Chain A
Amino acid sequence: MTPVQRINRGLSRVPAWPLYILSLVAPIWLLWQGQTGGLGPEPIKALEHELGELALKLLIVVLAITPLRNATGINLVKFRRAIGLIAFFYVALHLLVWLVLDVAILSQIWADILKRPYITVGMVGFLLLIPAAVTSNNRSIRKLGPKRWKRVHQWTYGAVILGAVHFIMVQKVWEAEPLIYLGIIMALLVTRLDLRVLRRAEA
């Protein structure tokens, strides 16, 4: 048995459902830190930022699963649905913190969504994730058929790009970190383009 086969066999014994329970740890930990001073004198901004960045990281992991399998044979597809849904959960919490704890003024929320480009971009990204989130179950795959289902889930490519752009737009100066995120995302998406073009060329 090759090492890759051994890894895949080990992974096949690990169930995906504990990830949903584990996903609660980060938000609860952050809330507790915020309440006890661990997030500094401006805990709302810190909470907002941490949740957003965590969501972006998980979305990158989701995007990396297929290229990882193509490149190494290591197969994490089994965990993709859970990681994707957890990422969506964190994005929703990020939005909720902004709505309830940060701005909290209804008229200002609506004005911000329309007037502030970085919020508009973030909001469109969130909307693009919703169809994928609600169809992340076996019944939806059957109902939509694999082709249509896949197309709905490819909308998340746009959402992830918008997420990184949103992160870049919030900065006051050009920071390396959000640019690195965008670079990784674009690289992961480019591997998909190339593969499809290659496959078509082979056929």
Chain B
Amino acid sequence: MAGRWKNDLGWDDVTPKAAWMNRRQIMAGGLAAAGLGAIGGTAHALEFQTTDFGEGLEPNSLEDITTYNNFYEFGTGKGDPAANAGAMEVEPWTVTVDGMVDNPGDYALDDLIGDMTLEERIYRFRCVEAWSMVVPWVGFELADLLNKIGVQEGAKYVSFETAVIPDVMPGVRRGVLDFPYREGLRLDEAMHPLTIMATGLYGEPLPNQNGAPMRLIVPWKYGFKSIKSIVRISLVEEQPDTSWNMLQAREYGFYSNVNPNVDHPRWSQASERRLGGGLFAGREPTLMFNGYEDEVASLYDGMDLAEFY
């Protein structure tokens, strides 16, 4: 059920449609003129509801969002995913649903999520490497999907896996991480209305380098938690293994909530650089829970966030 999430902004706070439509047309026009319209391929525009969520945030350009990516399956360079991910075939796409669910099985993607109502969510995106951007995602609440597959009593965590297709994934062939890439959430985090499965951005289907055909977005956590190109969703009782935590537990915790007060051992998390600002942009202070403190802080009541980083 889309639109369950309500915030305390009223219609008075909303930019008039004519104004933002105009803004997007300008951006879209500019990108098309720069020959970047092809990033979306021949894909048709998605049908989605707009929301007032993220009003006041100025999204990064489609070029920034689609050319500066971490997707280690396709290489460790920021430009590698854009260069290599195009070779990944995302249709047909099968997602395995298993563990403590009422309706397990291997689903064709459309059978699994075809009936979800899409909406736009403009979110801040903060990488653990201390850069950030703002992305106009299109997707649906993960809670809707979890309700559809039927979470059984006793399940406490959701774990996810990314596709492993060595033929088109040079990073997998080189073994830069222990693939498949794995991520997980506590069930209450997964059910939170801010947590979405994204299938598009800027109103079009996700480009492959951004995690097509379906990825997780958890806006109050560092970006690596928002796992891409998902092929498996499991409901489990124990806290699942997660890829970066497996590689270097001291640097990447299971929670990995954006927190300016808990530094990465090798760099400060107190500030960040917004992409696209040029050479002289400077840093901005990082916000607690990436600016979503009012919405999510209660999930961690009583927890020492320096211990559960």
Contacts and interface: CB of A to CB of B under 8 A. Distances in A.
A117 B266 contact: yes
B27 to A, nearest CB: 15
Interface string A115-145: 1111000000000000000000000000000
A53 to B, nearest CB: 13
Interface string A155-176: 0000000000000011011110
Interface in B109-138: 129, 131, 133
Interface string A83-119: 0000000000000000001011100100110011110
Contacts of B79: 40
Given A35-B278, A108-B271, A118-B266, A41 B68 contact: yes
Contact of B279 (A34, A105, A108, A112): A34
B279 A116 contact: no
Which of A35, A42, A111 has the most chain B CB atoms closer than 10 A to its own CB? A42
A111 B282 contact: no
B108 interface: no
Contact of B266 (A34, A41, A45, A169): A169
A174 B72 CA distance: 12
Contacts of A103: 283
A44 B277 CA distance: 10
B78 interface: yes
B268 A40 contact: no
B279 A44 contact: yes
Interface residues of A, number: 27
A104 to B, nearest CB: 6
A50 to B, nearest CB: 13
Contacts of A43: 278-279
Contact of A175 (B63, B64, B76): B76
A101 B133 CA distance: 19
B275 A41 contact: yes
Interface in B65-86: 67-68, 72, 76, 78-79
Given A112-B268, A116-B266, A173-B176, A34 B278 contact: yes
Given A34-B278, A108-B268, A41 B64 contact: yes
A42 B270 CA distance: 18
A40 B72 contact: no
Contact of A116 (B131, B267, B271, B278): B267
Interface string B278-302: 1111110000000000000000000
Interface string B238-281: 00000000010000000000000001001110110101101111
Contact of A101 (B76, B267, B280): B280
B131 A42 contact: yes
Nearest to A174: B176
Nearest to A31: B279
A198 B276 CA distance: 56
A158 to B, nearest CB: 22
Contacts of B64: 41
B67 A40 contact: yes
A40 B78 contact: yes
B80 to A, nearest CB: 12
Nearest to A171: B76
Given A112-B268, A116-B267, A105 B76 contact: no
Contacts of A182: none
Contacts of A45: 131
Contact of B283 (A40, A104, A112, A173): A104
A41 B60 contact: yes
A47 interface: yes
A45 B276 CA distance: 12
B2 interface: no
7 contacts: A41-B275, A42-B273, A44-B279, A45-B131, A103-B283, A173-B177, A175-B76
Interface of B: 60, 63-64, 67-68, 72, 76, 78-79, 129, 131, 133, 176-177, 247, 263, 266-268, 270-271, 273, 275-276, 278-283
Interface of A: 31, 34-35, 40-45, 47, 101, 103-105, 108, 111-112, 115-118, 169-170, 172-175
Given A42-B78, A44-B273, 4 more contacts: A41-B64, A41-B275, A42-B68, A170-B266
